[in-house]
């Protein structure tokens, strides 16, 4: 059995630079991985059996990206004559649905990494990244495990050392559907591309989804005003999580205290390397 983290991510900025003929959007973003997120338990079962333990509200089993990841790994391993088996996947959910923090994508990436180790399938990180891209545009960054500059539909990744950072997350409880946000006719789709640079060199750290999100949700507007009163507030992904960068851990805790009576807030740490790799190394050594 493996017990592994599935970390959340922040988009420190997000620009939509075009739309491809196949309907997918070209974008630029800067992913920062966090030291907080979901947790998964992976138990090996006999071949052919895949089970999801527990209930994920609003996500039927057939739409569960974690199960789809396990099934895809089974199919690929079987096709190549590599070891594979079954699994029971238990998800301990902390990342809200529709929050823009990449929860489902991170869960899928952790399943790929964990079952590859549990079954001894022997796929490389590059091979798992390619499988992850078939599941969703955000899955590759979680498989790669590095904070990164991303382009294309989010699959062209350049690892970027951002150093340890501290953030306050405000989770407004007003989830936004990614598909609906991308389909909004008011979404700007022609932003001028930026050259890759350190965040300090980026002029505004803007998110092209923010104006749409604020227009759609009064709850989000009120939360944004509250956070903006304490510093430069931003939004992750297509929403709805808002965040603020703090000077240090103490400052993050002070900001959290100022907001916690009225909002669901959390102080988190931004990291360059996903915690799933350390957990995987520690547990597979003892297997």
**Residue 200 DSSP code:** G
What mean pLDDT do residues 184-191 have? 86
Task: Between 216 and 175, name the one with better pLDDT.
Answer: 216
pLDDT score of 42? 98
| CA geometry: angle 199, 205, 206, nearest 5 deg | 160
Task: Look up 208 and say whether it is catalytic.
Answer: no
Residue 86 burial (10 A CB sphere; 0-12, 13-18, 19+): middle
Beta-carbon contacts of 241 under 8 Å, excluding residues fewer than 6 positions away, are 10, 96, 99, 100, 101, 169, 170, 171, 172, 235
Give per-residue pLDDT as tens, 59-93. Answer: 888 889 999 999 999 999 999 999 999 999 999 99
38, 138, 146, 208: the catalytic one is 138
Return the higher-pLDDT residue of 5 and 174.
5
What confidence tens digit (pLDDT) does each residue in 85-121 have? 999 999 999 999 989 999 999 999 999 999 999 999 9
Identify the CA nearest to 162 among candidates 120, 132, 192, 202.
202
Mean pLDDT of 133-155: 94
8 preceded by a cis bond (ω within 30 of 0): no
Pick the more confident residue, 234 or 55.
234
Element of type H or E holding 128: helix 125-135
Query: Up-side HSE of residue 51: CA atoms within 13 Å toward CB?
Result: 13
- Structure confidence at residue 238 (pLDDT): 92
- Supply φ then ψ for residue 235, to 5 degrees: -125, 145
Question: For 2-47, what is each residue's pLDDT tens digit?
Answer: 999 999 999 999 999 988 878 788 999 999 999 999 999 999 999 9
2, 36, 56, 67, 117 from 62: Cα distances, Å: 23, 27, 12, 8, 24
Nearest to 35 by CA among 115, 94, 105, 98: 94
More confident: 192 or 157: 157
pLDDT number for residue 62: 80
Report phi then psi at 149, rounded to 5: -80, 135
pLDDT, position 235: 96
Per-residue confidence (pLDDT) for residue 24, from 0 to 100: 82
Domains and CATH numbers, the chain: 2-159+275-285 (3.30.230.10), 165-271 (3.30.70.890)
Mean pLDDT, rounded, of the chain: 92
Q: What is the pLDDT of residue 177?
A: 85
Tens digit of each residue's pLDDT (9 = 90 or more) over 193-222: 877 655 555 545 789 999 999 999 999 999
Tokens representing residue 282 in the block: 């520690």
Pairing mode, strands 242-246 and 165-170: antiparallel
The reported pLDDT for the residue numbered 56 is: 77
**DSSP 8-class letter at 278:** H
Residue found under tokens 């807030």: 265
**How far apart, in whole angstroms, are the C-alpha atoms of residue 191 and residue 17?**
5
Alpha-carbon span 222 to 63, nearest angstrom: 32
pLDDT at 22: 80
Distance of CA 192 to the CA centre of its chain: 25
Nearest-angstrom CA–CA distance, 78 and 80: 5
Known active-site residue 260: no
Predicted TM-score (pTM) of this structure: 0.94
Say how far apart CA 40 and CA 28 lie, in whole Å.
30
> Which position among 9, 38, 64, 93 bears the catalytic label?
9
């Amino acid at each position: 059995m493996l017990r592994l983290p599935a970390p959340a991510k922040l988009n420190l900025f997000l620009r939509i630079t075009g739309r491809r003929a196949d309907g997918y959007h070209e974008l630029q973003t800067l992913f920062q991985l966090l030291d907080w997120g979901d947790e998964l338990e992976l138990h090996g079962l006999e071949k052919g059996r895949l089970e999801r333990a527990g209930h994920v509200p609003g996500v039927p089993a057939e739409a569960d990206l974690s199960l789809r990841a396990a099934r895809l790994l089974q199919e690929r391993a079987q096709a190549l004559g590599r070891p594979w088996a079954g699994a029971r996947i238990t998800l301990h959910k902390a990342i809200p649905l529709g929050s823009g923090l990449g929860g489902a994508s991170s869960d899928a990436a952790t399943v790929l990494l964990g079952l590859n180790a549990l079954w001894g399938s022997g796929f490389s990180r590059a091979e798992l990244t390619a499988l992850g891209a078939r599941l969703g545009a955000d899955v590759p960054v979680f498989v790669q495990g590095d904070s990164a500059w991303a382009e294309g539909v989010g699959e062209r990744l350049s690892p970027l050392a951002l150093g340890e950072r501290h953030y306050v997350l405000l989770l407004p409880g007003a989830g936004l559907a990614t598909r609906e946000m991308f389909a909004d006719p008011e979404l700007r789709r022609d932003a001028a591309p930026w050259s890759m640079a350190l965040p300090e060199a980026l002029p505004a750290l803007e998110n092209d989804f923010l104006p749409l999100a604020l227009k759609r949700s009064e709850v989000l507007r009120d939360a944004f005003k509250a956070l903006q009163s304490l510093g430069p507030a931003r939004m992750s992904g297509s929403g709805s999580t808002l965040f603020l960068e703090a000077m240090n851990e103490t400052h993050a805790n002070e900001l959290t205290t100022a907001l916690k009576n009225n909002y669901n807030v959390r102080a988190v740490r931004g990291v360059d390397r996903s915690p799933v790799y350390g957990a995987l190394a520690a547990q597979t050594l003892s297997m």
